[in-house]
Structure 1
Amino acid sequence: MKKRFAVVLAAGKGTRMKSNLYKVLHPVCGKPMVQHIVDQLEQCHIDEMVTIVGHGAEMVKEKIGERVKYALQAEQLGTGHAVMQAEEVLKNKPGITMVVCGDTPLLTKETMNALIEHHESTRAKATVLTANADNPAGYGRVLRDDQDRVKKIVEHKDASEEEKQVKEINTGTYCFDNETLFETLKRVGNDNVQGEYYLPDVVEILQKDGDIVTAYQTDDFNETMGVNDRVALSQAEKWMKKRINENWMREGVTIIDPDQTYISPDTVIGKDTTLHPGTVLAGETVIGEECHIGPHTEIKDSQIGNETTIKQSVVHLSQVGEHVSIGPFSHLRPDTKLAEGVRVGNFVELKKMTMGKGSKASHLSYLGDAEIGDGVNVGCGSITVNYDGKNKFLTTIEDGAFIGCNSNLIAPVTVGKGSYIAAGSTITDNVPVDSLAIARQRQINKEGYGKKNQ
């Protein structure tokens, strides 16, 4: 098999986005557009990938990392000029080069592989990815000859009335013989209104030279969508969300209202899990089997065990075990770890803490920087007081302890195994095993005080 190369065009500023954020970094379903492209290309057995950067180059490199090589297009002088910047990396290398725009996040590995295979099977020097558009206005039209090869690509503004009736459009994605590509790019001129070097001119030059130029047509026009403004961005978001949600439904996940459910491309969900409306699964989240998530729940970069229920809550960067119940209105902040059978109820906030098997904090508590053992009950309104204004300290609650309501545990402190904390106590010293700690002032009644202050 011939070597495969890829050039990702990601140097344009994207002025129509009217944004301080570089265009290809605008997210679709939580992931930058250019990252979608790189992810899909990596699954196409690409030997070398070059991303052309310009505006916001450092930000693009930060997002993509060392997965690709980079070439700088200091001046944006057209798509042909952009591809030329990859010559130093790819010149004189036999193989096939795919050129993809970084603002086409809906392209799939299946379509890319099919394009490459079509290019190889026809022994073409260039192959254009095309699609049928119901409304092709503004797109370049692909005109074929009687052998179904590409005769020419004509821009909408230059097309005759007859040519404008053609609905097959150029998507801006191509395959080329790598060596031919860079040889031909040197023959591309900039004698046009914009004074730029256009990549489609390579196709025209090759056709005139008598080389084989073909087209591969994808069945899904939406997949080829280029995002140039916020309207197109919202459309790409809609189609990506639909694709992701339908995939998981086919894999055995129940989504009650797909229009109101948002799943990142990197999320994994087990079968027989039910997602209720308003659920947001972001980042590299993993949901187990037979879970109930939502309604109105956000989970990001977290792992959720089987048969767990999370309602109207937020979970970030946390690990939740099996048979756990969370919510409604709970907040799990980063580095929270809940073991099997834990219950976290209404208005409970957890941060950087662990909770052992069967333990529960049913309502109105803050537990941060804590290690809580198995079978612990944390009463309503209890707080681990972990911060002294400069440093944070650890609270340890050992197995089977019972924390009465409205208790303050002033860290660093340890509550021993099987111990009880009386309601309303402020605990400043360690509590021994199997003890009862009472830390509150004795009640004093001042008779007649109310009448005196009337």
Structure 2
Amino acid sequence: MATALIILAAGKGTRMKSDLPKVLHPIGGAPMLGHAMRAGQALTPDQTVIVAGHGAEAVAAAARAHDANAQVVLQSEQLGTAHAVAQAAPALAGHDGDAIVLYGDTPFIRPETLRRMLAARQDHDLVVLGFDTADPGRYGRLVMEGERLERIVEFKDATEAERAIGFCNSGVIAARTETLFELIAAVGNDNAAGEYYLTDIVAIARARGLGATAVACEESETLGVNSRAELVQAEALFQDRMRAAMMEGGAILVAPETVHFAHDTQIAPDAQVEQNVVFAPGVTVGARARIRAFSHLEGCEVAAGAVVGPYARLRPGTKLAEDARIGNFVEVKNAVVAAGAKVNHLSYIGDAELGAGSNVGAGTVTCNYDGVSKHRTRIGARVFIGSDTMLVAPVTVGDDAMTASGSVITENVPQGALALGRARQVNKPGLAVKLFEMLKLNKRKRDREAE
């Protein structure tokens, strides 16, 4: 059966104290909205509708960056959750299937939980996602009779017996699309806040003789983010989940609690990650690769057996082939480093190609920017680049060539050639002693004048 996603993302998030819409605050390098969309997309929905409000243009751009086919509708006034869902009705007119209501600030719903909700929907008209907690606080309580959900009771309206219930409402709901909007149309706003509450549809459904039930999930899946402190907690939860998933998948984490992952980090079995490594979005690491301590990787590919770091930085567009080595205090950007090539010390390799088996000496820089445009450096196979070489792009160094240490290379170097681009050394006998004597004399004069 067809499935539609309705993701509520209209809130400003006042407690975040930010101009950025709440659902765009990142967790694991991706906006919370993206996490919610990713969970829903595991169901292969035929339609996804984002209900935006505050910062609607930015929310729409983020949604479409994640799913180009996502529809964005506007909730111009925030009049409650039922009112928000109602804004999706025109976009889903005639939809023949089920709809699931998700929240853009609830990023940890698991796809398997949503699948269980859809499975339960086959036997019930309405399915609510609930969670058990030892500290239910002010959550709405789910009042059950066996598998049947009788009603949702808000904390302020609950009796002492109902407040003792530990099964609470997450707000996530599944129903046949047509049924969902029929129930929402019957929701009123006769309450202290004058808002239209989505939870009211359970009582309306029961009054109409419709069947409702609740599916349980872990409390952590329902975590909503409403403040900076809660965002920190959410990031910590995300990192814990990623670390566990990486190790379960065969990655070796020397000190898991010090490694930070992005939402899309991929690490193959038997790859090793040392302490205090940061993965920004877009990183893949192959089998047996080693990412050494205090390295930062973003938008790059590290092939099997390659070594990165310690204290290395790989920037977007970097591709390391098998057994390549990037050492300490080396930065690589938009460069291809072929199999077995090495850049081991204190170098910058940007907008470049480094051939198989080549070695780049310490202090080397590919001078890729002329102040207006970027240019590319091409280094062939089995090349030896001497320490402190400046390669002024665009420039090509042929296979089996060599550059002398301290050279500035501004012209192409033919295959097998040695390139020297430095001034001849001149020694002046005794001049150092005289120079030091002059400098010391001048310092004594300055010291006397200062007294």
Fold shared, TM-score > 0.5 on shorter chain: yes
User: In 1, distance between residues paired with 2:304 and 2:22?
Assistant: 39
Q: Distance in 2 between matches of 1:360 and 1:26?
A: 42
* 1:296 matched residue in structure 2: 294
2:126 counterpart residue number: 126
Shift of 1:303: 0.9
Q: Any conservation in 2 of the 1:91–1:182 contact (CA below 8 Å)?
A: no
CA distance in 2: counterparts of 1:444 and 1:31, whole angstroms: 59
In 2: Cα distance, 1:249 partner to 1:186 partner:
48
Change (3 A) 1:290 1:447: closer
Note the C-alpha offset of 1:27. Answer: 0.8
Question: How far apart, in 2, do the equivalents of 1:304 and 1:239 lie?
Answer: 27
Identify the range of structure 1 (204-213 vs 30-39) with the bigger mean alpha-carbon deviation: 204-213
Task: Give distance in 1, aligned partners of 2:94 and 2:302.
Answer: 50
* Secondary structure, counterpart of 1:211 in structure 2: coil
1:445 matched to which residue of 2?
428
Deviates more, 1:313-322 or 1:229-238: 229-238
Provide the secondary structure at the position in 1 that maps to 2:362. strand
Matches within 5 A, 1:349-428: 349-367=348-366, 368=368, 369-385=376-392, 393-410=393-410, 413-422=411-420, 425-426=421-422
CA distance in 1, matches of 2:143, 2:279: 44
Moved over 4 A (4+): 446-450
1:268 corresponds to which residue? Answer: 266
Give the secondary structure class of the aligned counterpart of 1:157.
helix
Pairing 1:17-96 to 2, within 5 Å after superposition? 17-65=16-64, 66-96=68-98
How many angstroms apart in 2 are the aligned matches of 1:243 and 1:15?
Answer: 28
Aligned residues: 424
The answer to whether structure 1 residue 6 and structure 2 residue 13 are counterparts is: no
Equivalent of 2:107 in 105, 108, 133: 105
* TM-score of the aligned structures, taking structure 1 as reference length: 0.90
Corresponding residue of 2:373: none
Asked if the contact 2:50–2:63 (Cα under 8 Å) also holds between the matched residues in 1, the reply is no
Q: CA RMSD in A?
A: 1.6
Shift in Å at residue 442 of structure 1?
5.6
Q: Tell me how far apart the structure 2 counterparts of residues 153 and 348 of structure 1 sit (CA, whole Å).
A: 62
Aligned mates of 2:332, 2:164 — CA distance in 1 = 57
Please give the secondary structure, in 1, of the residue aligned with 2:229: helix
Alignment match of 2:235 (pick from 234, 237, 253): 237
Aligned equivalents of 2:430, 2:216: Cα separation in 1: 91
CA distance in 1, matches of 2:323, 2:424: 40
What secondary structure is seen at the aligned counterpart in 2 of 1:62?
Answer: helix
CA contact (8 A) 2:409 2:419 kept: no
Q: 1:10, 1:103 within 8 Å by CA — same for their partners in 2? A: yes
1:282 shift after superposition: 2.1
Question: Which residue identity does 1:400 align to in structure 2?
Answer: D
Unpaired segments ≥5 residues, structure 2: 369-375, 439-451
Flag the 1:126–1:316 CA change in 2: closer, same or farther, 3 A.
same
The whole-number CA distance in structure 1 between the counterparts of 2:140 and 2:90 is 30
Question: SS state of the match for residue 363, structure 1?
Answer: coil
* Structure 2 match to 1:331: 331
Tell me the alpha carbon deviations over residues 293-352 of structure 1, each in whole angstroms, 9 at most, x when there is no partner: 12111111111111011112110121111101111111112x111000011112111110
Residues 249-277 of structure 1: CA distance to partner in whole angstroms, max 9, x if unpaired?
11111111221112222122111101111
Residues 185-213 of structure 1, C-alpha deviations (whole Å, 9 max, x = no match): 11111122222111111112112222111
CA contact (8 A) 2:302 2:321 kept: yes
Q: Distance in 1 between matches of 2:9 and 2:198?
A: 14
Q: 1:254 maps to which residue?
A: 252
The verdict on how the C-alpha distance between 1:444 and 1:291 changes in structure 2, with shifts beyond 3 A counting, is closer
**Aligned twin of 2:441:** none
1:179 matched residue in structure 2:
178
Q: Secondary structure at the match of 2:257?
A: helix
CA distance in 2, matches of 1:313, 1:350: 12
Match of 1:142 in 2: 142
Partners of 2:33 and 2:240 in 1: CA distance: 19
Partner of 1:225: 223
Cα distance change of structure 1 residues 223 and 443 upon mapping to structure 2, 3 Å threshold: same
